[in-house]
Structure formats: C-alpha cells, structure tokens
Structure 1
Amino acid sequence: MVELEFQEKTKQLIDSLKSICATNGLGNSTGEFEIITQVFLYKFLNDKFAFEAKKIDANLAKAEKWEETVESMSEDDLEMLQLQMGGDTARLKPHHFISYLFSQQNEPDFAKLFDDTLMDIAATNNDVFSVMTDSGEKVRLFSRINENVTVSKRDAFCRAIINKLIEFSFERIFTQKFDFYATIFEYIIKDYNSNSGGKYAEYYTPHAVARIMAAILVPEAQRGQIKNVSCYDPSAGSGTLLMNVAHAIGENRCSIYTQDISKKSSNLLRLNLILNNLVHSIPNVIEGDTLRHPHHKDGAQLKKFDYIVSNPPFKLDFSDIREELDSKENKERFFAGIPTVPKKEKDKMKIYTLFLQHIITSLKSEGKAAVVVPTGFITAKTGIDNKILKHLVDNKMLAGVVSMPSNIFATTGTNVSILFIDDSNKGDVVLIDASNLGEKVKDGKNQKTVLSPAEEQKIIDVFNDKQAVEDLSVAVSYEEIAAKNYSLSAGQYFDVKIEYVDITPDEFKAKMQSFTDNLDSLFSQSHELEAEIKKQLAGLNYGS
C-alpha cells in the first residue's frame, strides 16, 4: 500500500509542477524540463537527508520539527552527522531545507532566494554530484530555474512550487527498491525523453528490451555472486539499460560508466543514478562525443569493461567528422572500417557500426555485451556489417541474437535485434526469432508491440538454457554460422518441413476430378471471353 500511495503522490506532484509551468507559459519547453527534474531532485534530496538523519540521531527521529533540531546543532555536531550519512546523501545546511524556504516565501525577492539556495546546494555537493564534460568542465547539480520565467511572475512562481513541495515527505519510501524508482523515473521523464531534436537524439529504450538484456547478461543463478564489476554504455541516454543491469548485479556490487553527447540525457542519467542508489558512479558520467573523444581510458588505451549495454543511434549524418575518425589512432578501434558518405541521403550513414566496433574493442577478455542493432545487420552479406559479423564468429565471441517483434519501439518502424557478445562462449550460439510474439497496441499516434511477462520470460529461459524450440529458436555452432555466410538469422537454420496427409485412393480420385472440373470451367469461360473480344473488335469502324 505504501508503494502505491507514494507512486500516486509523486505523480500528483509532477503533474502539479507541470501545471505551474504551463500557467507561467513554460509548458512543453526546455525550461519546463529543467524545472521539473531539478525541483523533483531538490525535494528528493531534502527528504533523503531527513530519512538518513533520523536513522542516525534518535533525537531527530522523535522531534516534532526535525529541521529546528538540526538548526540548533553546533557546526561540529552537524558535520559529524553528515559524515555518518554516507556518500549518497547530499550535504545540506538548515537554510537549504524546504521548510526554511516555505517560511520565507513572503519575503521580498523570494525567487532569488530560491535560486540561490539551489546554487548553494550544488556548490556544497559539487565533488560528488557533478557530471563532467569530455573537456573536463563540471556540470553542477542545479542551475537557476527562474531564467525562463517573466520577472514579474518569479516570486509567485516559486511560491507555488514551494507550497507543493511541503505537502508530503518521501521519507517512508526510501526502503523501496529498483522497480519502484524505475516507475517514478519513467513518469517524470515521459514527456522529455523523445527522438526529437539534437544530434544523436536518444530513443527511449522499452523496458521489455532492457529487462531481456539484463536477464540474459546476468542470469538468475549468478545473481548475488558477481561483485566489483564495471558496466558501461557509450550512448547511455537516460540510463534505462544500465539501471536494469545494475539492479540484476546489485547496485553496491558494480560501478557505472557512461558517455553521451546529449546534455539532457546526462542530466537525466544523473537523476536516475541518484534515485537508484548509484551516487558513487556519478563521477563516471561524461557528457561528450564517444566517437571523437572517448573519455574512459587506462592510460592511452580504451578502458575495458566487464559488461557493456547499448542502444546506439542507427543511422545518422556524421560526414563532418568522418575524416577525423578515419585516423591512424582509430585503426584498432574501428577495425572493420568507417562507413562512407552516400551520394544521397547522408543521414543514412550507418553510425551504429562505429558504436558496435567501439563496444567490441572496449570489452574485457571474457566480458559480456548486449547491443540493439537493426535486424538487417544480422544477415549482412557485404561491407562493414559483414566484417563485424565475421570478426565475432571467427573469434568465437558470440552468445546469440534475439530478433524482436516489429514496432517494439513505438518511435521507429525499424525492426531491431539484440546482439549478445560473450568472449567466454566457445560453444553453441543461440538464435531466437521472437518476431511473432507480442500484442499490437496504440501508443498515442503510433502503434507498438508489447510483450507479455510470460513471453519475456520465455525468451530469457530459451536463451539461457540454449533450447531449440520449433519456429522460435536454434542453437548452432560457429562452424554452421560460417557455412551460412555468417548469417545470425534464426529462420535460416530452421528445418524445412513438408507436411504429408494420408488419403485413400477414392479421396485422391475425387480431389483430382475436382481440379479437372475447375480447369474445364475456367477454359470454357476463357473461350467465351475470347469470342466476345473478337466480336467487339469486328464491330469497330474507322472514324466511329
């Protein structure tokens, strides 16, 4: 009940904040996105501080107004309290609390006080909560939320916000786990994480895809046994894939590493990490261009990772940086080559092949990866795609492929497959054709395919157990794949079945007579039509 209650309260809070933005002319704007995410995060950090402080100090837990008790502490006592909280709780001062801002809402220049408070929290927590760009600049936790609001409306705008934040506390939900926060995060960002605008614009990865990837990379039997591993996504978006993998491994058993060219995505990812108890990985979140400036390195070499997940952009015009990528220092990373610029439709350049090569090069020996690719890739007969396939097969570093149903992404009609790379798998490779699974549903103006929980689990079980299921899956050797010109399409390995039906001589005679009678009827109609056409032609006269 607590979970449902707070999910509803959280959704009401988000909707209220959006309503406040809309009233002030910020509906569906970039400004709204920044305000919603930052105000929610401020609320979350304030209540998390209260939750952790009350666990440590019994006096705070009993106090009617815990904020006043904190305010009465000496600087040394407050410092000691914060040291005991651990690194995933923001360091706050009494004048940072929501209750303090609430008490000051009728003072002059309240909007400035609100902004100054967020900026001070960001400065106080800069070392832990900042995202870094590939040039070394730190992107702080908060920015000023009033810049896009009309000056005359700012105080009223901030008063409306603070009155919403004071209505309830999140304290009772901090014992909840991943599934709760995944639902909340999805609701917060549902209007902001789309495929519109910006280079390398992110597509929201469906949870079914994320769950299947995590459950195959980290099978149930291995959970609780893996520790101290690194998980990487070179085109991380808002982090859906990484959160699922981290949850499967255990949030305290892994470190997250990311890079994404989008500022918006990096900010969303930071929020996702904070919600999911992965604050320790925020310093590894990099805002920057993975292809041109890969940040995560060990010395001069690319850093190698235990697990890699990615849903990279598929096709995109990168002609402006192609020459830069086609350099001597990138020869090893882009071992299969760099796509050329088509004479027409530059935006069809296969950028996913670069991300895929980068992922293969960044994988540890015996590491595991799962990458979303266009389904056409798995049957490529020529070009860079085929070279990558040959590399994976010849070096025996495949676990398998799951070809998903069409429209699994509501935002794109491209058919997708999940490519599983596993350098430790020297046995059979599992190929699954799940294209006939799922139910078609409307998603706004689009149609998408939704897998049922049972269908998701079937895919996972068949893959992890290497089952051969009629018209669904096969387990084939590397030698068989090479003999099929490196095709990873399950359908090409299915047995061709010819069904025979036993019939009696009389039934056979009757069936043949039926065919003969049908043909005689068709021939008769043909002769009649032929005579009619000749008659009509004979009646035509010149000039008529």
Structure 2
Amino acid sequence: MVEIQFQQKVRELIDGLKAICANYGLGNDGNEFKIITQAFLYKFLNDKFAYEAKKVEPSLAEAEKWEDVLSNMSDDELEMLALQMPADTATLKPQHFISYLFSQQNEPNFSKLFDDTLRDISIQNNEIFAVQTDGGAKVKLFDELSQYISDPSKRDEFCKAIINELVEFSFERIFDQKFDFYASIFEYLIKDYNSNSGGKYAEYYTPHAVARIMAEILVPKDQQGQVKNVTCYDPAAGSGTLLMNVAHVIGESRCAIYTQDISQKSSNLLRLNLILNNLVHSIPNVVQGNTMLHPYHKDGTELKKFDYIVSNPPFKLDFSDFRNDLDNKANKERFFAGIPKIKVKDKDKMEIYQLFLQHIIYSLKDDGKAAVVLPTGFITAQSGIDKKIRQKLIDDKMLAGVISMPSNIFANTGTSVSIIFIDKKNKDKVVLIDASNLGQKIKEGKNQKTLLTLQEEEKIINIFNKKIAEDELSVVVNYEDISNKNYSLSAGQYFEVKMEYENLTPEEFKLRVDDFSQAIEELLKKSNMLSNQIKNKITDFEL
C-alpha cells in the first residue's frame, strides 16, 4: 500500500513539473522533455546523496536539518564522507543542494545561480555520468534549463517554480525498492516523450509484456542467480526498456550494459533509466551514434562480441544518405546477406531492420543469445535478404525459436511483429509459437492496443522454455523440418491438419447415407422448381 501511495506522489511531482512548463509556454514544446527529465534527475541525485550520506554518518540522519550539519563540515570531512559513499552516488557540494537553492530564491539573477549549479554538478560528475558520442564528445548530465524560456524576464520565476516543486518531495524512503517499482515510474515519466512523433529516428517504446517475455526466455528462472560477469548489448537501445528487463533477471551487479543509438534524446533517457536502476557503472558504455555506419564498441580493432543482445530496431526508414558507405569490403562479413537497395520512389520503406539483425548475429559470442523484435513478414519472405538471413540461422543451427505476437501489441504501430530468439548453442529443437490470437483489445487514446494478461505471458514463456507443442499455439521442430519448408518460421505452417472421426456400425452408416440422399433429392427438387419458375418469368418478359 505504501508503494502504491508513493508512486502516486511521484506521479504528482511529474505532473507538477509538466504544469510549470505549460504555465511558462513550454507545454508540448520540443524542449519540455529535457526540463522534466533533468529536473527529476536533479532531485533524484540530491536525495540519493542524502540517503547514502546518512548511512555513512548517523549524525546526519538524527539532525533536524541534515543539510546544515553537512554545510558545517570541513573540506577534509566532506572528502572523507564522499570516499565512504557508493561509487554510483553523485558528488555534491552543500551549495548544490535543493534546500540551498530554495533559501537563495529571492536573490537577484536566481536563474543564473540555478543554471550554474546544474553546470557545476555536471562538471563534478562528468567521468561517471557523461554519455559519449561515437566521435568521442561527452554529453553532459544537465543543460542550463532557463535558456528554454525565451523571455529573460521570466527565467527567475520559472526556476523558482521548479525549486519550489522539488523541495517538498523526497525519494529517500524508496531507494531500497527494486526494478519493478522504478519501471512504472520511468514509463510514466517519459510516456509523452518516447513516441513515434519525433521524426526520422523516432523511438518506439517497447511494451513491458514484450520486454519481460524476451528477458525470461533469454535467462530462464532456473538460470537466474547463476549468470554473472556477462555483457548485454542493444544496438538501437532507445530508452533502454529491453536492457533493463534483461539486467533485472540477471542481476544489476552481475552484468554490464552496452548500447548505441543515433538519438541524443534516447541516450539521455537511457542514462536516466540506468541511474534509476542501479546501473550507473554502465553509463560509460552508453554511446550516441550511428550503429550501422560507425559501430563503436570494439575489442582492439574488431567489433566487440556480447553474451546477450536484445533489440527492437527501426523496421523501415530512409538510410540512403549513408547506404553506399556500408557497401564495402570491411562490412562483407557483418552484412553477410546483403545491404538493402535504395528505393528511389519510396526511400522511407528501406528495410533497415535487415542491417540491424545481421549486425546482431555478427556481434554475438560463440555461445551468445539474442532476442530481436522484427516485422512478421520477415519469418516467411520467400526471397531476398530476409530469406538469406533465415537460411544462415538454420544452416548454422543457431535458432532457438520464434514468437508471432498479437496485432497492435505496439499501440503506435499496426505492423504485426514477431520475436526471433537466437541461441548459438541450440543445435537441437526449435520452438515456433503463434500467439497472434492471444491478448485483450483495448483503446488507448485514438489507438487500439492489445494487452497480454500475466497468465498469457507466463504461458508463452513456459511453452518456449520447456519446448512444449500445443494444438493451434506451438510446435517443436528440428532444423531439417524448417529447411524442408523453405526456411519458413511461421508456426501455422507446421500445425497438423486433423480430421475428426466417428465410430459407426454398418446400420448407422447406412441410415446416415440414406438421410443425406433424401436431403439431396429434396434440394434437387427445389432447384428444378426454382429453375422452371425462372424460365417462365423470362418467357413472360420476352412476350
């Protein structure tokens, strides 16, 4: 009950920040998400520092105002306190605290003080919290938020409003909560900013049902707690939903996250997600850049290989501006099935997912596993790059299975999707599941969405992991079966056609035939009668 109430309080904080943006003309503005997420992050880091400091120094927890006690400490005492706090805690000085800014809000040029504070925090914590680009630049933790108010005369009041919203709230009581708690908060925080309305490289938010299914199949329950010191990668990470789910089932301290995404917005959201979910140690591995053109993560001169890869890559978009740069000798092995051609008349329908899938296969370790969301058309295409990729998966025996999901599982796209599971150690049976008839249809705004129940999620996971064949839902086949079906990965093509039989005595059979014969004779009589009536009508008409 306490968790539910606190989640509501967090939502009220987020709504309050959005209301401030709206009051100052920034509602639905392109910069609104920066203000909301960065103000939220500033508050989170402030309270995490307080939480950890009080654990190290009990006198702070006993004080009526811990900030005053800490402000009176010497530089040496502050340095010693910082050394004893966890490495994922932001380094803050007394003048960085929200309570300090609150006390200074009536001073002239308050917006400058506010911006300077965020800038200084970014500088102090650049090594731990900065995201990098594929060109080596550092993307700092905070922007100067007052710059987004075009009228300078309103900047002080805007910054005061933010501080007043933040000062009355505290995260301290929930820092011991786990992934599921923060997952719902993060989803609420970014729900208006992570959609397909952002243009060419728009992010598609992966539903948690899809993310959970992928994670629980990649790391089944009987293996959870045993996997450790592994790498998890997403070459089109978005805000990190898939990676957070995988890290959760493995254990946040047992894995390292690696990502790349062309979107700066996505990289900033992913950084926030990592901070919320005790994965700060992986922030240096978050890279903003074009994975297909400039894959960043390497071991020496070779592309890095990973233990687990998850991805919901973009399906179709125009990459004609760099397509020809990919078509070279260095990429022959990575793009083994080929590079999609430029569609002169419809460039936005270039199948970029084919590049991502080939890159993922190439980036897997010899015993690695991957789960990738793809358009369902991929699993049955009879020619081209799609079929060549499927053929490699079957001929090299590295496919674990496929799940065809219900339509509208993604609220913002009607494209039917399937999840393909790759396992380089799976040399035996392959599971194909047709889950297209599962789920409940609901309306979400103007869109129709399909939601899987928890029971349906568990059923899909159980069938896949235990390799269970169930009528009209799943089949278990071998690699030869698939090659004989022209490499089709559609479960429906392997379902048995069953005929129902009845045991009848000769007398019962004769009686049944007599009944059918009599019925047919009556139908023929009616047919003849109708035919004659039609002929008579035609004759009357001719006369």
Aligned to 1:233: 234
State the shift of 1:502 in Å: 5.0
Give the corresponding residue for 1:158. Answer: 159
1:4 aligned onto 2:4: yes
Task: Note if 1:126 corresponds to 2:126.
Answer: yes
> Partner amino acid for 2:41?
L
CA separation in 1, counterparts of 2:539 and 2:367?
A: 77
Distance (Å, rounded) in 2 between the aligned partners of 1:514 and 1:129: 81
TM-score of the aligned structures, taking structure 2 as reference length: 0.97
Partner amino acid for 2:523? N
RMSD in angstroms over aligned alpha carbons?
1.2
**Which residue of structure 2 aligns with residue 170 of structure 1?**
171
Instruction: Report the CA distance between 1:126 and its aligned residue.
Output: 0.5
- Cα distance between partner residues in 2 of 1:462 and 1:406: 20
> What stretches of structure 2 of length at least 5 have no aligned partner?
none
Show the 5 A alignment for 1:299-310.
299-310=300-311
Distance of 2:344 and 2:154 partners within structure 1: 52
- Other-structure match for 1:518: 523
Contact 1:368 1:421 in 2 (8 A): yes
1:475 is displaced (CA, Å) by 1.0
Cα deviation digits, residues 91-150 of structure 1 (max 9, x gap):
000000010011011111111111111111111100100000111000000001111212
Aligned residue identity for 2:229? N
2:346 corresponds to = 345
Contact 1:2 1:173 in 2 (8 A): no
Tell me the SS of whatever aligns to 1:448. Answer: strand
Q: Hey, which bits of structure 1, 4+ residues long, moved more than 4 A? A: none
Whole-Å separation in 1 of the counterparts to 2:48 and 2:526:
83
Q: Which moved more, 1:521-530 or 1:132-141?
A: 521-530
Residue 542 (structure 1) aligns with:
none
Larger deviation: 390-399 or 515-524? Answer: 515-524
Paired AA for residue 90 in structure 2: A
What is the aligned partner in structure 2 of residue 141 from structure 1? 141
Query: For residue 475 of structure 1, what is the amino acid of its counterpart?
Result: V
User: 1:320 and 2:321 equivalent?
Assistant: yes
* Shift of residue 513, structure 1, vs aligned partner: 2.3
Q: CA deviation at 1:514?
A: 2.4
In structure 2, the residue matched to 1:532 is 537
Tell whether 2:473 aligns with 1:472: yes
Mark the CA change 1:523 to 1:291 in structure 2 (over 3 Å): closer, same or farther.
farther
SS of equivalent to 1:436: coil
Look up the match of 1:275: 276
Alpha-carbon separation, structure 2, partners of 1:211 and 1:66? 40
1:118-517 equivalences under 5 Å are: 118-149=118-149, 150-501=151-502, 504=508, 505-517=510-522
Per-residue CA deviations over 1:336-366 (Å, capped at 9, x if unaligned) read 0001123432211111000000000000001
Q: Which residue of 2 aligns with 1:45?
A: 45
For the structure 1 residues 344 and 521, does the alpha-carbon distance in structure 2 shift closer, same or farther, using more than 3 Å as the test? farther
Name the aligned partner's letter for residue 133 of structure 1. Answer: T
With over 3 angstroms needed to count, the CA separation of the structure-2 counterparts of 1:520 and 1:29, relative to structure 1, is farther
Cα distance in structure 2, aligned partners of 1:91 and 1:230: 27
Residue type of the alignment partner of 1:23? N
Question: Aligned partners of 1:267 and 1:281: how far apart in 2?
Answer: 13
Q: Is the 8 A contact 1:6 1:170 kept in 2?
A: no
Q: 1:355 to 1:84 in 2, by over 3 A?
A: same
Pairwise CA distance, 1:155: 1.2
How many angstroms apart in 2 are the aligned matches of 1:532 and 1:284?
84
1:522, CA displacement in angstroms?
A: 3.7
Deviations 1:253-302 (A, max 9, x none): 00000000001100000000000000000000000000000000112211
Provide the residue aligned with 2:83 in structure 1: 83
Contact 1:393–1:481 (CA<8 Å) still a contact in 2? yes
**Kept after mapping to 2: 8 A contact 1:228/1:255:** yes
Contact kept in structure 2, 1:54 and 1:60, CA below 8 Å: yes
> Shift in Å at residue 319 of structure 1?
1.5
Question: Over residues 32-54 of structure 1, what are the superposed CA-to-partner deviations in whole Å (9 max), with x where a residue is unaligned?
Answer: 11100000000000000000000
Tell me the distance in 1 between the aligned counterparts of 2:146 and 2:469. Answer: 59
Give 2:70's aligned residue.
70
SS at 1:487 equivalent: coil
Looking at structure 2, the residues matched to 247 and 203 of structure 1 have their Cα atoms a distance apart, in angstroms, of 21
| 2:60 counterpart residue number | 60
Q: Per-residue deviation at 1:511?
A: 3.3
Mapped partners of 1:284, 1:106: distance in 2: 41
Q: What does 1:98-137 align with in structure 2 at a 5 Å threshold?
A: 98-137=98-137
- SS at structure 2 position matched to 1:492: helix
Find the aligned partners of 1:128 and 1:519 in 2 and give their Cα distance: 86
2-structure distance, mates of 1:529, 1:264 = 72
Return closer, same or farther for 1:388/1:155 CA change in 2, 3 Å cut-off.
Answer: same
- Given that 1:235 and 1:311 are in contact with CA atoms closer than 8 Å, whether structure 2 keeps it comes out as yes
Letter in 2 for 1:121: I
Taking the aligned partners of 1:533 and 1:271, their CA distance within structure 2 comes to 80
C-alpha distance in 2 between matches for 1:118 and 1:272: 19
- Measure the CA separation in 2 of the matches of 1:523 and 1:342: 59
- In the TM superposition, what is the alpha-carbon distance from 1:501 to its structure 2 partner? 4.1
Query: Take 1:117 and 1:530, find their aligned partners in 2: how far apart are those partners?
Result: 95
What CA distance in whole angstroms lies between the structure 2 residues aligned with 1:522 and 1:106? 95
Post-superposition shift, 1:523? 4.1
Alpha carbons 1:45, 1:90 under 8 Å: kept: yes
2:278 partner letter: N
Matched AA of 1:85: M
Distance 1:2 1:55 in 2: 22
SS in structure 2 opposite 1:30? coil
CA positional deviation for 1:72: 0.7
Alignment TM-score, normalising by the size of structure 1: 0.97
Cα 1:528–1:362, aligned 2, differ >3 Å: closer, same or farther? same
Code of the residue aligned with 1:432 in structure 2: it is: I
Give SS of 2:147's match.
coil
**Residues 532 and 279 of structure 1, relative CA distance in 2, 3 Å threshold:** same
CA displacement at 1:326 relative to structure 2: 0.5
Paired amino acid for 1:30? G
Structure 1 runs not aligned, ≥5 long: 540-544
- Tell me by how many angstroms 1:219 deviates: 0.3
Q: 1:116 to 1:527 in 2, by over 3 A?
A: farther
